[in-house]
């Protein structure tokens, strides 16, 4: 089993692959980042492929498929690249075998409520500058029309297996899904708009003045988070999930601070936001390796306070960045001297476990 954090700007796009019983690569794509993760225009107006498009073209050349596409939730920085791909590539529907997506229509059906028509918009009318929710339902129309949607609610407590992989779903809870029974609109949480970074503070200052407030974004609370396991190797993908939801799921599975979940890697929730990683959550997880997917440009993520909690909590920490140049802005020489238990790792290639 191996994976790569694609360069997704300030979003998530993760390629996980393993070999099935016949020796064929089984490809899983977890989110698609922003539109630019698929393609963007340079200063001369010429289109340039992003890492998502490069990955898709490679999979085509190898005569492989995206065997499972997981759209964790509807925010732009997770769905934009997928929409751009589906708009520009006529072969997309033939390349994807199965999709997990908790769409608006499916959620309303699950709770036996009448769907809200405004949530159901067609793909040809939506651009990447529109609301995240509009993008979500656009995606829903496409996957339903092309019969690639595994039409089920993915929720905490589910255990799913395929191609030698075991998925244990930790988020969303039924309560978090129920909060989406409303007209879907673009969210702009106060915590994520016009915010400044905390990089000028030292690790010591942040650790000694720490307090925790949990993310209250409805969209983030609906994110699909899970443990994927193969042959005793585990990765915890947290998407943008709320920490208390993850804690509750882990405790239902029998984990606790005394008997934490042991995983090889943790993909931090919400690009390393201080609102999505608590000390209590870290006490329920045993791992040395934490993954940060963020360019740091839009919402000044990751928060240094989030990273300080990990560094304080763990005996040894490897922090993996898909934009490693960001770390020179976050950490000072004094930070490394004060806390020699953490290391920075460039996450630019595939990581095998």
- Could you report the per-residue pLDDT of 228-243, keeping only the tens digit for each? 999 999 999 999 999 9
Could you please report the per-residue DSSP string of 187-225?
Answer: ---GGGSS----TTS-HHHHHHT--------HHHHT--E
Could you give the residue ranges of the DSSP H alpha helices within 146-291? 174-178, 203-208, 218-221, 243-252, 279-283
Structure tokens of 307?
């990273």
Q: What is the C-alpha end-to-end distance of the chain, expressed in Å?
A: 6
Residues 353 and 233: beta-carbon distance below 8 Å: yes
Q: In the structure, what pLDDT confidence band is assigned to residue 145 with cuts at 50, 70 and 90?
A: confident
Residue written as token pair 């999979």: 59
**Distance from C-alpha of 100 to C-alpha of 285, rounded to nearest angstrom:** 25
Position 193 pLDDT exceeds 80: no
Task: Please tell me the distance from the alpha carbon of residue 215 to that of residue 197, in angstroms, as a whole number.
Answer: 17
CA 29 to chain centre: 10
User: In which band, very low, low, confident or very high, does the pLDDT at 330 lie, cut at 50, 70 and 90?
Assistant: very high
| The pLDDT value given to residue 45 | 85
pLDDT, position 125: 43
pLDDT in tens, 206-219: 999 999 999 999 99
Query: What band does 18 get if pLDDT is binned at 50, 70 and 90?
Result: very high
235 - beta bridge partners? 228, 265
The residue extents of the domains of the chain are 2-153, 169-352
6 cis-preceded (ω within 30 degrees of 0):
no
Residue 269 banded pLDDT, cuts 50, 70, 90? very high
DSSP H helical ranges for 8-70: 35-38, 51-61
Distance of alpha carbon 186 from alpha carbon 9, whole angstroms: 19
Nearest to 30 by CA among 273, 177, 238, 184: 238
Q: What are the angstrom distances between the C-alpha of 127 and each of 28, 80, 130, 141, 270?
A: 25, 9, 6, 15, 24
pLDDT tens-place string over residues 99-143? 999 988 889 899 988 776 665 534 444 455 544 555 665 677 788
Angle at 269 between CA 97 and CA 339, to 5 degrees: 135
The per-residue pLDDT for 26 is: 96
Q: What is the pLDDT of residue 334?
A: 98
User: Distance of CA 260 to CAs 171, 224, 243, 305, 308, Å?
Assistant: 18, 21, 15, 22, 20
Count the Cβ atoms, other than its own, within 10 Å of residue 94: 12
When the pLDDT of each residue in the chain is averaged and rounded to a whole number, the result is 91
Q: Which residues of 231-256 are buried (b: 16+ CB within 10 A; e: fewer)?
A: eeebbbbbbbbbbbbbbbbbeeeebe
Q: What is the mean pLDDT of residues 168-182?
A: 93
Taking only the tens place, the pLDDT of each residue in 312-327 is 999 999 999 999 999 9
Sign of CA dihedral 296, 15, 283, 319: negative
Rounded CA-CA distance 336/269 in Å is: 24
pLDDT of residue 174: 96
Indicate the range of 39-43, 133-137, 198-202 predicted with least confidence. 133-137
| 88: pLDDT strictly greater than 80 | yes
The answer to whether 103 and 140 are in contact (CB under 8 A) is yes
Please report the sign of the dihedral spanned by the C-alpha atoms of residue 231, residue 232, residue 233, residue 236: positive
Tokens of 297: 């440009």
Please state the φ and ψ torsions of residue 42, each to the nearest 5 degrees. Answer: -80, -175
């Amino acid at each position: 089993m191996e994976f790569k954090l694609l360069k997704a700007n300030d979003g998530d796009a993760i390629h996980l692959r393993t070999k099935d019983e016949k020796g064929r690569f089984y490809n899983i794509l977890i989110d698609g980042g922003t539109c630019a993760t698929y393609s963007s225009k340079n200063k001369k107006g010429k289109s340039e492929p992003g890492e998502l498009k490069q990955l898709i073209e490679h999979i085509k050349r190898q005569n492989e498929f995206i065997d499972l596409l997981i759209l964790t939730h509807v925010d732009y920085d997770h769905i934009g690249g997928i929409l751009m791909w589906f708009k520009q590539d006529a072969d997309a529907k033939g390349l994807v075998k199965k999709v997990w997506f908790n769409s608006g229509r499916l959620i309303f059906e699950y709770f036996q409520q009448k769907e809200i028509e405004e949530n159901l918009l067609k793909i040809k009318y939506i651009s990447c500058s529109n609301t995240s929710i509009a993008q979500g339902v656009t995606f829903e129309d496409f996957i339903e029309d092309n019969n690639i949607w595994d039409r089920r609610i993915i929720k905490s407590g589910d255990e799913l297996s395929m191609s030698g992989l075991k998925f244990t779903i930790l988020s969303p809870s039924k309560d978090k899904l129920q909060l989406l029974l409303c007209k879907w609109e673009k969210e702009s949480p106060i915590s994520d708009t016009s915010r400044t970074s905390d990089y000028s503070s030292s690790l010591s200052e942040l650790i000694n003045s720490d307090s925790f407030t949990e993310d209250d974004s409805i969209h983030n609370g609906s994110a699909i988070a899970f443990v994927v396991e193969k042959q005793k190797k585990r990765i915890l993908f947290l998407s943008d999930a709320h920490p208390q939801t993850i804690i509750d799921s882990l405790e239902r599975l029998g984990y606790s601070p005394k008997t934490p979940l042991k995983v090889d890697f943790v993909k931090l929730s919400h690009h390393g936001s201080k609102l999505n990683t608590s000390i209590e959550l870290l006490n329920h997880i045993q791992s040395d390796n934490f993954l940060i997917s963020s360019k740091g440009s839009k919402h000044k993520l990751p928060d240094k306070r989030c990273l300080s909690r990990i560094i304080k909590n763990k005996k040894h920490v490897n922090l993996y960045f898909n934009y490693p140049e960001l770390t020179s802005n976050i950490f000072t020489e004094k930070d490394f001297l004060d806390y020699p238990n953490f290391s920075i790792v460039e996450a630019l290639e595939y990581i095998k476990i």
